[in-house]
Structure formats: C-alpha cells, structure tokens
Amino acid sequence: MRKLSEISSLDGKRVIIRCDLNVPLDGSTITDDGRIVASVPTIKYLVDQGAKVIVISHLGRPDGAPDAQYSLEPAAKRLGELLSQPVFFASDTIGSEARGAVKALDRGGVVVLENLRFNAGETSKDEAERREFAAKLADFGDLFVSDGFGVVHRKQASVYELAQLLPSVAGFLIEKELEVLTRLTSNPERPYAVVLGGSKVSDKLVVIDHLLPTVNKLLIGGGMVFTFLAAQGFKVGSSLLEVDQIETVRGYIARATELGVEIVLPTDIVVASKFGADAETSVTLASEIESSPFGASGLGLDIGPDSAARFAEEISQAKTVFWNGPMGVFEIDKFAGGTRAVAKALTELKGLGVVGGGDSAAAVRILGFEDSQFGHISTGGGASLEFLEGKKLPGLEVLNG
C-alpha cells in the first residue's frame, strides 16, 4: 500500500484528504467528536509540512442534494478548534465557493468542503457519473490522501475514483486501523469472541456467515436478537424483526453447531411500551416477550440484566474480542444497561479488545468511558467488519501497487 510517509515533499502542494468526519449530531451539536479527533494527526502533519490542505468528507445519508441538517459546518468548526488554527468552510463541494477557497489557500492552510453526498455523483451506481464528480474534485489537488477508514469498503467517487485520478496514498489513520485489525485476522489469541448488535440487522447477518469459521464464540445483542429468537420459534412482539432472514438465521445456527462455535443469545430482554424515554418497561424472558404487560405491542429495546452479566462474563474469559453494535437503544438511559455492561467488560479484558462501529464508538464515549480504556476504537463499522470477513476493500485496493 502506498503511504503518506513515503511522500518526500509536501511543501506548497495542494493535498486533498478524504476524512470520515461523519459524526453524530443533535441539531448542530456534535455528540461524539471521535472521528474528527482521529482525523487530526494526518491533517496536522500535512499542515506542518506546508501543504495546502483540502478536507473532504460525507456526513449522514443526504439524498444527493444539499440538505442543511447534514452540513459539515459544525465538523469544520470543531476541526479548527482541535487544530488550533482557522479552518475555512466552503458551503459547496465543487462550486464557486469551493473553487475560490482552494485558490486562496496558503501553505499550511486548511479548507473543509461541504458534504460530498450533497452531490449525486458521490454515491452514484453509475461509474461514469462517479468519475465525472471525482474529476471535478481532482482539479483541486496535486495529491490525494485517503484517510477515511469508515468508507474504504465503499466504491464511491471520493474513495475509489478520485484515488485513480491523482497520485494517491493512505494516511496515518488508515495505517493505524489496519495494523490493529490485522492482529484480529492473522492468528488472534484464543478464545476469540465477537459481540454483534446494533440495528443494521440484514447488513450484519451476512457478516456472521463469514465470521463463523474464525471465531470461538459469537454473542448476539441489539436489534439482531429478535430474528434469532424468531428463528427458534419465539414471538417477539413489535421488536425489530427481519422476517425474510429467519431461514438464513436458522442456517447460521446449524452451521455454528457444526463448527463448534457457541452462539450466545440473551435470555432476558428489556421490553418497552413504546419507543422513547418516557416508555414504561418490563424485563421478560427472551422466550416470553409477549407476556410483558404490553403484549404484542411490546418492543425489545435492550438485553436484560441477566444477559448483560452473562455477556460480561463471556467477554472476561476471552483473549481477543471484537465488538460491533450497541446491545440496546443506548441513546436512552433505561435501554443502555446491556451496552454499558459490555463496554465495561471490554475495559477490564486481559487481552485485545476492539470496538468498531460509529454508534458503538459513540456509545462508549457517551456512557463515560475513555478511549484509552480500550485496546482500539475503530472509526469504521462496516469497513472493519468487511475487513474481518477477509473481503477486499475497494478503497484500500486502489492504494496498492
């Protein structure tokens, strides 16, 4: 892989850096700046080397057109604070303001362009459209630094096509992420446990298929639980359920048994009367969710306290743990117990504990843990999972050779 450290002269060069500044926002307030903090070392290096730095990123999933709630302006402001220097924010990505801002850059200056995904070309399925958009971005720079680890599994204009249009290298964040994740794929210390949760159920079910041959235990929490419970014939009320995945999950359970992998499912569930901080709650057996006072309208929003204790115990017995996806709706405190227990167990692990995933990383910080308490907090959820599955990631492949 071509690396930034191998580039000898950056002085006065226009360097486009693809970061992942996709931070969670509450209005225009950043609730977890972890991804911006993680982007700083490479940007700072470029500044110190006298480069003219053009930062590009996406935020959220706008529909290929400007949408104020997904503006990168708050992220640009925070980046300026972390760098202790003015950072100019351009309110378009390839328009006249961006062009003007890039032109006006001095050595060591930094500009952040508006959300890449305000342009349909960024995520277009049509390669020609992506190329056209990437070419406009490429006009701004002499060198491309790819450092948005969270998006390297995506074949998108600013990740893949842009890297082909300019001399391109990996930044320090990507290097660091790969160093740690490689320790999970090549000969991890055993027992090796993977904890999966979150709400992107069908995305993550696919991962299980690939992980089964490599792990010793698989702990399942979050929204995925209910498809597993349904596969065992239990009713799950109004909880998140992917009916069309039930058969697939039955296949995974059978395969796990064949491979000697233990799938650990929660035995109790925090069931809520509705989705919200003012919901009533009741803890039920995982097999009897509809026997809660809320009947068939009850929603499972967290693993129960017994399951949280069991998961913590399983984690403490492992030597290598990868965790992706919150155990419950941690954003609401009464559904944060499972996530808190798993996070705490990881901080006490005698071995390598890696947290991956945007919401998982945000969760540990919001729940009051420090980054330094974990072996590694990856800035990429999907990207780290695909890496662990052994897939080739387009954004990394393109930097090879």
Which are the catalytic amino acids? 35, 200, 358, 382
Contacts of 334 (CB under 8 A, 6+ apart): 270, 272, 277, 279, 281, 302
Binds ligand ADP by CB under 6 A, chosen from 141, 188, 304, 325: 325
- Which of Mg ion, ligand ADP, none does residue 298 bind to, with CB < 5 to 8 Å depending on kind? none
Distance of alpha carbon 336 from alpha carbon 332, whole angstroms: 6
Q: Which of residues 26-85 bind ligand ADP (CB under 6 A)?
A: none
| Interface with Mg ion, residue 32, by CB under 5 A | no
In angstroms, give the least distance from the CB of 267 to ligand ADP. Answer: 15
Could you give the dihedral angle defined by the CA atoms of residues 183, 187, 191 and 193, in that order, rounded to the nearest 10 degrees? 50
303: part of which helix (H) or strand (E)? strand 299-303
In angstroms, give the least distance from the CB of 358 to Mg ion. Answer: 4
| SS3 of residue 299 by DSSP | strand
CA-based torsion, 28, 34, 40, 42: positive or negative: negative
Contact 35, 148 (CB under 8 A): no
Tell me, rounded to whole angstroms, the distance of Cα 191 from its chain centroid: 25
| Interface with Mg ion, residue 109, by CB under 5 A | no
Distance of alpha carbon 67 from alpha carbon 118, whole angstroms: 7
| Interface with Mg ion, residue 326, by CB under 5 A | no
Nearest residue to Mg ion by CB is 359
Longest pairwise C-alpha distance within the chain: 68
Q: Interface with ligand ADP by CB under 6 A: which range of 54-62, 72-80, 120-128, 193-201?
A: 193-201
Could you give the dihedral angle defined by the CA atoms of residues 148, 154, 156 and 158, in that order, rounded to the nearest 10 degrees? 10
Distance of alpha carbon 238 from alpha carbon 242, whole angstroms: 11
In angstroms, give the least distance from the CB of 29 to ligand ADP. Answer: 17
State the binding string over 284-303 for ligand ADP (x if CB under 6 A, else -).
Answer: ----------------xx--
- Which of ligand ADP, Mg ion, none does residue 380 bind to, with CB < 5 to 8 Å depending on kind? none
- In the bound state with ligand ADP, the residue whose beta carbon lies nearer, of 121 and 198, is 198
Phi/psi-derived region of residue 117, left when phi > 0, alpha when psi is between -120 and 50, beta in every other case: alpha
The DSSP code for 79 is: H
Angle, vertex CA 212, rays to CA 396 and CA 176, nearest 5: 30
Distance of alpha carbon 194 from alpha carbon 208, whole angstroms: 10
Contacts of 238 (CB under 8 A, 6+ apart): 296, 297, 298, 299
State the binding string over 211-230 for ligand ADP (x if CB under 6 A, else -).
Answer: -----------xx-------
Distance of alpha carbon 114 from alpha carbon 59, whole angstroms: 9
| Interface with ligand ADP, residue 331, by CB under 6 A | yes
| Interface with ligand ADP, residue 266, by CB under 6 A | no
- Which of Mg ion, ligand ADP, none does residue 331 bind to, with CB < 5 to 8 Å depending on kind? ligand ADP
Site residue total, Mg ion (CB under 5 A): 2
- Which of ligand ADP, Mg ion, none does residue 300 bind to, with CB < 5 to 8 Å depending on kind? ligand ADP
Q: Which of residues 364-393 bind ligand ADP (CB under 6 A)?
A: 381
| Interface with ligand ADP, residue 188, by CB under 6 A | no
Binds ligand ADP by CB under 6 A, chosen from 4, 138, 145, 329: 329
- In the bound state with ligand ADP, the residue whose beta carbon lies nearer, of 39 and 119, is 39
| Interface with ligand ADP, residue 114, by CB under 6 A | no
Q: Interface with ligand ADP by CB under 6 A: which range of 59-67, 152-160, 314-322, 357-365?
A: 357-365
- 3-state SS string for 321-387: EEEECCCCCCCCHHHCHHHHHHHHHHHCCCCEEEEECHHHHHHHHHCCCCHHHCCEECCCCHHHHHH
In angstroms, give the least distance from the CB of 325 to ligand ADP. Answer: 4
| Interface with Mg ion, residue 358, by CB under 5 A | yes
| Interface with ligand ADP, residue 168, by CB under 6 A | no
Give me the residues that bind Mg ion (CB under 5 A), please: 358-359
Give me the residues that bind ligand ADP (CB under 6 A), please: 197-200, 222-223, 240, 300-301, 324-326, 328-329, 331, 357-360, 381
